[in-house]
Structure 1
Amino acid sequence: MKIGIPRALIHWKYPVFWEDFFKNLGVEVLVSPKTNKEIVQIGSRISDPETCFSVKVFFGHLLWLEGKVDFIFIPRLKANKQKFEYCPKLFALPDLANILTKTPILTANFDCRREKFEKTLEGLGGKINKSKDEVKEAARKAFLKEIEYEAKNQEEFLGKIKSEKKKKIILISHPYNLYDDYVNLKVEDRLKKLGVEPFFIDRAPSPRRSSAGSGTDDGLPIRDYPDFHWEFGREIMEKTEEVLNYGFSGAIEISSFQCGCDAVLKEFVERKIKRKKVPFLYLIIDEQTGEAGFQTRLEAFVDTLK
């Protein structure tokens, strides 16, 4: 059996867990290749004008996998531990995929609270003829690997913050924009060539506060802003709150064209950053974004930091 995973959207939220989980079950896994011009063109051709750029990229990866695997895995994420919801387009992806491809879609409705998540994994394993014990062991190993991956990223982030002498810029966006070099026009490399050091907000540790009078962590994030309806927006605001204490010289927020969630989020992010008097640049990307104009905006922004 071979299961395909589109290298887009949710893949970048859990870049280690899903692939490792299926491999631990003895399943062959095929992840679609890095985003390229052909994949973006395929996704754009089948999308309507209202579709956000990130979903267009996902469609391209989906269709690349068609006919190459027995199942294409697309988790349906509904809510996180604090019951914040994910973007409605993410929730609908398995249904849209069923319309767009003839390859069977393997999916399940995931509630990210640990006990419910594990229960859903057991049901998912049953669909591919794996026992509960096999699923539990595969999940345990995959969870550990994901935790190690995140801990390593956070350790490197904090260590680099302390040692880096160049001007530092925090890149604020969703993981599927930060880690996809084709989508973000290799913004990390471009900034390094301009003599500044970029940091991904996704790798920053989430702030925590202690219970009143207890001195123990109650697992609640520190925040002085209203709860966001969307999980990804809440994560970005939570981490923006934290990283502004690290002495960044500037901040760049990257958003996909037609992203409704980001249209709301941008106002809150910009307000918080400007209160700290940190220079801020907002970039919108899509399949029409030109490299020359993108480079010019980065150069002009970096010049303001000198």
Structure 2
Amino acid sequence: MPELTFTLRPRPPFRLDLTVWALRRRAHNVVDRFDDGVWRRVLVVGKSAVGIAVTQTRTGSRPEIEVRTSAARPQALKADVSAIVTRMLGLDRDLSGFYKLARDDARLGELADRLRGMKPVRYATVFEAFANAVACQLVSLSAGMHVLNRIAEAFGARGAAAEMRSFPPAAAIAHSTPDALRALGLSRQKGEYLIGLARLAIDPKDRDFASIAPLANDDAIARLSKIRGVGRWTAEYVMLRGFGRINIFPGDDVGGRNKLFEWLGVDGAPTYDGVAAMLERWHPYGGLIYLHLIVNSVAGGGHVAA
């Protein structure tokens, strides 16, 4: 398979390892792999499967990453791959306001310093964000990840490395059946929801929910919540992880709420309104704090070198 290597320059500060772990979340994630400092994934660009291997080659005030692509026509796909990688890893996101806020707040400052260089990640598509939400509703993240792995292995596009698959394109799921998805670990109802979302994502009049992107948060959440199977938690999760709205902390996320309470040293049962009140002092970075708390728990488990 032909290869092409090119360089991207993230806005500093940037650390590839911390950023990729915000995508991976669990070591058994087979779509996003990170071994020996290299992030590997298969992207679907149009009808082409593109294997990428990304390495950070420069740190400090002028960070750089090297992107090695494997595809039938890598040069023709370079611009698209560059745009996807930039969006997924948040390479162009300016977090200077967040770091300024952290300098004046001891608690946030410790977290920001510990994970300095972690960028706000997004999934490759909004549909992928929806699929992660559906698979992980009402189950643990670890269990949901196993289901997502099986769906990727069944429906993902094959990369240059035979053992790797892309996250399943919406078109592949749209033409599946609830019974096929049930065999992979989704309930029949969740399978129906996911197929419905996939069909919306491939609508040529609104590819991958593009009409949502220009809307204000409240309007976007209201629109998303009208979709069958999409409640407040899913809508907020997709706003953060699909559309990159880093001011949105998914307030109904039990794991996220528990991490927030643990970080703040607060006792009691977390509530949606309580979470919003606690995060007000750090507005508009609630979603970025959510991502930091996820990676902080992984780093605490020894998966990431702090």
Instruction: Classify the TM-score, shorter chain.
Output: under 0.3
Q: Computing the radius of gyration over CA atoms, which structure comes out larger, 1 or 2? A: 1
TM norm structure 1? 0.27
